[in-house]
Amino acid sequence: MHRRSTFPRFPFVAAALVGALLALTACTGEPDRNGVVVTGIVPAPAEFELADGSPFTLTDAARLVAVGGGARAVAETFAAPARAATGFPLPVVDGDAEASDDSTARSTDLELVVDADAALGNEGYTLVSGADGVRITASAPAGLFLGTQSLRQLLPAEIEHADATRSPDGGWLVPAVSIADEPRFAYRASLVDVARNFIAVDDVLDHLDRMALLKLNVLHLHLTDDQGWRLQIDAWPELTGVGASTSVGGGGGGFYTKDDYRRIVDYAAERFITVVPEIDLPGHTNAALSAYPELNCDGVAREPYEGVEVGFSSLCADPARAEATDRFLADVLSEVAELTPGPWIHVGGDEPLATEHDDFLDLVGRITTAAAATGKTVIAYHEMGASSELPPGTIGHYWDLTAAHEMAPNRRDEPVRPYPESAGQARSFLEQGGRLVLAPADTTYLDMMYPDRPAGPLGTELGTRWASTITLEEAYAWRPEETVEGLEESDILGVAASIWTETIETVPDFEFMVFPRIAAIAEVGWSPADARDEAGFRTRLVTLGAHLDALGVAYRKVGGVDWAE
Which residues are tagged catalytic? 351
Single residue of 351, 421, 473, 533 touching ligand TNX by CB under 6 A: 351
Instruction: Give the nearer residue to ligand TNX in terms of CB position, either 47 or 193.
Output: 193
Told to check if 306 binds ligand TNX by CB under 6 A, we report: no
Q: Compute how many other C-beta atoms are within 10 angstroms of the C-beta atom of residue 408.
A: 12
Instruction: Give the nearer residue to ligand TNX in terms of CB position, either 360 or 445.
Output: 445
CB of 464 to ligand TNX, least distance (A): 6
Q: Restricting to residues 175-214, which ones interact with ligand TNX according to CB under 6 A?
A: 193
Interacting residues of 60 by C-beta distance below 8 A, sequence separation 6+ = 86, 87, 88, 89
> Pairing relation of β-strands 64-67 and 218-222?
unpaired
The site string for ligand TNX over 450-479 (x = CB under 6 A, - otherwise) reads: --------------x---------------
Told to check if 39 binds ligand TNX by CB under 6 A, we report: no
25-29's contacts with Cβ under 8 Å and 24+ in sequence apart are 27/52, 27/53, 27/54, 27/55, 27/176, 28/54, 28/55, 28/173, 28/175
Q: What is the DSSP letter of 229?
A: E
The span from the CA of 65 to the CA of 71, in Å, is 9
Single residue of 186, 310, 353, 416 touching ligand TNX by CB under 6 A: 310
Instruction: Give the nearer residue to ligand TNX in terms of CB position, either 441 or 551.
Output: 441
Told to check if 447 binds ligand TNX by CB under 6 A, we report: yes
Q: What is the DSSP letter of 405?
A: -
Q: Restricting to residues 104-143, which ones interact with ligand TNX according to CB under 6 A?
A: none
Helix, strand or coil for residue 247? coil
Single residue of 350, 491, 505, 549 touching ligand TNX by CB under 6 A: 350
> Do residues 317 and 363 lie in contact, with contact meaning Cβ atoms separated by under 8 Å?
yes
The site string for ligand TNX over 365-384 (x = CB under 6 A, - otherwise) reads: ----------------x---
Interface stretch with ligand TNX, choices 108-116, 122-130, 212-220, 441-449 (CB under 6 A): 441-449
Interface stretch with ligand TNX, choices 102-110, 316-324, 385-393, 440-448 (CB under 6 A): 440-448
Count of residues that bind ligand TNX according to CB under 6 A: 12
CB of 526 to ligand TNX, least distance (A): 23
The span from the CA of 294 to the CA of 282, in Å, is 15
Told to check if 78 binds ligand TNX by CB under 6 A, we report: no
Q: Assign residue 311 a region (left: φ > 0; alpha: ψ between -120 and 50; beta: otherwise).
A: left
Single-letter residue type at 199: I
The site string for ligand TNX over 501-520 (x = CB under 6 A, - otherwise) reads: -x------------------
The span from the CA of 290 to the CA of 295, in Å, is 9
Told to check if 399 binds ligand TNX by CB under 6 A, we report: yes
What are φ and ψ of residue 407, in 5° steps? -70, 125
CB of 226 to ligand TNX, least distance (A): 9
Residue 42 exposure: Cα atoms within 13 Å on the Cβ side: 33
User: Smallest Cα–Cα separation from 95: which of 109, 79, 83, 82?
Assistant: 109
Told to check if 226 binds ligand TNX by CB under 6 A, we report: no
> Pairing relation of β-strands 224-225 and 395-398?
unpaired
Told to check if 500 binds ligand TNX by CB under 6 A, we report: yes
Q: What is the DSSP letter of 222?
A: E
Interaction site with ligand TNX (CB under 6 A): 193, 310, 350-351, 381, 399, 441, 445, 447, 464, 500, 502
